[in-house]
């Protein structure tokens, strides 16, 4: 695996070649991604929801972990860019017969594909694939272990920018299972790169990673204190599938101490927005009244996922095309 993700992600002129992590990417590049996504926003409103940018390209969705939002929005995004899309069903693939990850990739490469969108339970899987694929193939990380989920973070930044005008100067609270969350790590990196005033994190001690302050987040002890004056509140799912021991006394107790309620949100800024990457455990992470309330922008996050994923695919393919044409000169 590469130690410097930006080095693997960028070509020699600093353009996005793979999208693996927010780490090492500049504010300008993240802004360019949001601007590109904005330019794709109108495609969904056209009678024919397609632009020809990826016509003739083949995108492979390779999801070794379950997904509803990410897999489907990547598929829609690729189709709206006119790409051919291959959804590999891992449960019925030869992975179940013991084929290695690299052999699976090599066999799909032999079919002359152009892009892999990868979700995997192992941190570093997307980096590993990116460091082994042929030069004309781009890899996009759709979530690897508890390491990174960069397209989720960018659709979240895009949503915040849509509602707040900018990320600069905002107080953003992230509440929930931060220890197991690739989303939180990517969000904190994106928020600090884009100039948020303060990123506050709040979770039971057992669900806070030791290194979280080194990313630039401030740890709060009580949710009421964390919510005071907040512009954006992001709830995270309790990732029970990644919890091997007793991380929580009970869901009931978690909700009592950390759950987002209408009552608690009164402490935040009056125009606070409430976000959640999904899937949501209602009445554990958030009251249903909050999930379905006027401050929630959770379904807008899902819609924005298509535009951001279109932007990601368009940017990486454009870089690969440029690299190819330079090689042919």
Contact residues for ligand CP, defined by CB under 6 A: 67-70, 143, 152, 277-279
Closer to ligand CP at the Cβ: 72 or 228?
72
Closer to ligand CP at the Cβ: 21 or 70?
70
**Smallest distance from the beta carbon of 28 to ligand CP, in angstroms?**
26
Q: DSSP class of residue 186?
A: H
Are the beta carbons of 148 and 115 closer than 8 angstroms? no
Helix 150-164 vs helix 182-193: crossing angle, to nearest 10: 50
**Smallest distance from the beta carbon of 97 to ligand CP, in angstroms?**
26
Closer to ligand CP at the Cβ: 207 or 320?
207
Residue with tokens 């790590």: 185
**Smallest distance from the beta carbon of 149 to ligand CP, in angstroms?**
6
**Smallest distance from the beta carbon of 27 to ligand CP, in angstroms?**
24
| Alpha carbon separation from 126 to 107, 109, 150 (Å, rounded) | 17, 15, 11
Dihedral pair phi/psi, residue 151, rounded to 5°: -70, -30
Query: 219 forms bridges with which residues in the sheet?
Result: 201
Neighbours of 298 (CB within 10 A): 19
**Smallest distance from the beta carbon of 68 to ligand CP, in angstroms?**
4
Give the chain's count of helices (H) and strands (E): 12, 9
What's the CA gap between 112 and 169, in Å, rounded? 46
């Amino acid at each position: 695996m590469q130690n410097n993700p930006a080095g693997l992600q960028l070509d020699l002129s600093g353009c996005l070649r793979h999208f693996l992590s927010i780490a090492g990417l500049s504010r300008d590049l993240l802004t360019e991604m949001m601007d590109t996504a904005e330019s794709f926003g109108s495609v969904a409103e056209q009678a024919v929801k397609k632009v020809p940018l990826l016509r003739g390209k083949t995108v492979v969705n390779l999801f070794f972990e379950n997904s509803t939002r990410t897999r489907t929005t990547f598929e829609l995004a690729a189709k709206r860019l006119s790409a051919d899309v291959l959804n590999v069903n891992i449960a019925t693939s030869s992975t179940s017969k013991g084929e290695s990850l690299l052999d699976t990739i090599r066999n799909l490469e032999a079919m002359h594909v152009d892009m892999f969108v990868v979700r995997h339970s192992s941190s570093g899987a997307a980096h590993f694939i990116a460091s082994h694929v042929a030069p004309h193939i781009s890899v996009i990380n759709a979530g690897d272990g508890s390491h990174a989920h960069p397209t989720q973070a960018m659709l979240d930044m895009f949503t915040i920018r849509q509602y707040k005008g900018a990320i600069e100067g905002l107080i953003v609270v992230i509440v929930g299972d931060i220890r197991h969350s690739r989303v939180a790590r990517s969000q904190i990196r994106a928020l600090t790169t884009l100039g948020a005033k303060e990123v506050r994190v709040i979770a039971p001690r057992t669900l806070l990673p030791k290194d979280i302050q080194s990313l630039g987040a401030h740890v709060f002890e009580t949710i009421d204190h964390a919510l005071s004056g907040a512009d954006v509140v992001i709830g995270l799912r309790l990732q029970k599938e990644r919890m091997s021991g007793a991380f929580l006394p009970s869901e009931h107790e978690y909700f009592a101490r950390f759950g987002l309620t209408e009552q608690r949100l009164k402490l935040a800024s009056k125009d606070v927005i409430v976000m959640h990457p999904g899937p949501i455990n209602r009445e554990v992470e958030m009251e249903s009244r909050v999930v379905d309330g006027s401050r929630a922008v959770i379904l807008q996050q899902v819609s924005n996922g298509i535009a951001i994923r279109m932007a990601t695919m368009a940017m990486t393919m454009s870089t690969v095309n440029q690299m190819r044409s330079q090689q042919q000169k």
